[in-house]
């Protein structure tokens, strides 16, 4: 399983999500919105929020994928999110890891 985290360096919950996955030896890709998208990162965040829908409005945005890949979805193209499932924020990730994640996951990729 692979996790994808969209966040910023100043976001404490983004850091906590990365640390949790690292401590559990789970694979993840971190996309620093500020470094990757510069001054337009808030527009990219709006695009991401429109893709996931619902009432979620904060970072981190965390996705999971059963099959490990190095392809990061294009924030402008919904089709590139095929295979990725939106987990939610840090607290939803914590709940997923504690209660919903299959126990048989091989954590060593």
Q: Which pLDDT belongs to residue 107?
A: 47
Mean pLDDT of 33-48: 89
Q: Which pLDDT belongs to residue 106?
A: 45
Inside any domain, residue 71? yes
- Find, among 49, 32, 50, the residue nearest to 41 by Cα: 32
Inside any domain, residue 72? yes
In this prediction the pTM is 0.84
Inside any domain, residue 81? yes
Q: How many residues does the chain have?
A: 109
Inside any domain, residue 17? yes
Inside any domain, residue 25? yes
Give the domain range for residue 7: 2-100
Find the CATH number of the domain harbouring 63: 3.40.30.10
Mean pLDDT of 8-36: 95
Inside any domain, residue 106? no
Q: Which pLDDT belongs to residue 81?
A: 78
Q: What distance separates the 2 farthest-apart alpha carbons in the chain?
A: 41
Q: Indicate if the pLDDT at residue 74 is higher than 50.
A: yes
Q: Indicate if the pLDDT at residue 65 is higher than 50.
A: yes
Could you tell me the two tokens for 89?
Answer: 């924020």
Inside any domain, residue 105? no
The residue that leads in pLDDT, 100 or 87, is 87
Q: How many domains does the chain have?
A: 1
The residues facing 64 across adjacent strands are: 3, 85
């Amino acid at each position: 399983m692979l996790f994808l985290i969209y966040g910023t360096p100043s976001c404490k919950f983004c850091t906590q999500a990365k640390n949790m996955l690292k401590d559990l030896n789970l694979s993840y890709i971190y996309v620093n919105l500020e470094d990757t998208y510069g001054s337009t990162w808030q527009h990219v965040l709006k695009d991401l929020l429109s893709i996931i829908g619902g009432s979620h409005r904060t970072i981190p945005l965390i996705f999971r994928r059963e099959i490990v890949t190095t392809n990061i979805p294009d924030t402008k193209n919904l089709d590139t999110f095929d295979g990725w499932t939106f987990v939610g924020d840090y607290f939803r990730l914590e709940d997923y890891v504690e209660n919903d994640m299959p126990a048989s996951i091989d954590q060593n990729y």
